[in-house]
Amino acid sequence: MNDVAGGLVRLSGLVQGLYTRVSQRHDLTPVQAKLLCVLLEGPRGMAELAGYFSVEKAALTGLMDRAEKRGLARRTPVPGDRRALTVTLTEEGHRAATAFYTDVHAELEALVGSLTPEGRKHFEQAMGEIIERCGGGC
């Protein structure tokens, strides 16, 4: 696979590896890191998070149990619907999320650091097109 397909797999592996290494550096699992990053944009419901992660509700229960035990996030009741829970970051979780995000962002920037401004622009545009055309699923 020495073509686009191979390139995509290798590039994706590079990004995945980078993400995992940075997670470890912050004493997080990659999934926990992803959870923190999502919650950085605001509180979310359990079902909402399950949908976002393309995972069953039950998996989120476990994920949140561990995140809560580690003091990164918490579940709070939703006024008006006594079945529902909202997930928010704790202070520690917010600090961890910000630190992780900053770090991973810098490393990803460094990853494309060898591109010329021109090449970088083309690359960004191509990624944008692929992502847009594929949306969520594809």
Partner DNA sequence: TATTGTTATACTCTATAACTATA
Partner DNA sequence: TATAGTTATAGAGTATAACAATA
Residues lying near DNA in the complex (CB under 7 A) are found at 29-32, 45-48, 53-66, 75, 78, 80-86
Q: What b/e readout covers 8-40, taking b as 16+ CB neighbours within 10 angstroms?
A: eeeeeeeeeeebeebbeebebeeebbbbbebbe
Q: Of DNA, its own copies, none, which one sits near residue 22, judging by CB under 5 to 8 A according to partner kind?
A: none
- Of 77 and 128, the one with the shorter C-beta distance to DNA is 77
- Of 9 and 126, the one with the shorter C-beta distance to DNA is 9
Per CB under 8 A, residues contacting its own copies are 1, 3-5, 7-12, 14-19, 54, 101, 104-105, 108-109, 111-112, 114-115, 119-120, 122-131, 133-134, 137-138
Supply the minimum distance, in Å, between the C-beta of residue 105 and DNA.
20
Smallest CA-to-CA distance from 103 within 12, 27, 8 is with: 27
Q: Which two tokens stand for residue 56?
A: 């069953």
How far apart CA 66 and CA 1 sit, in angstroms, is 39
Read off φ and ψ for residue 137, nearest 5 degrees: -95, -95
Supply the minimum distance, in Å, between the C-beta of residue 104 and its own copies.
7
- Of 4 and 58, the one with the shorter C-beta distance to its own copies is 4
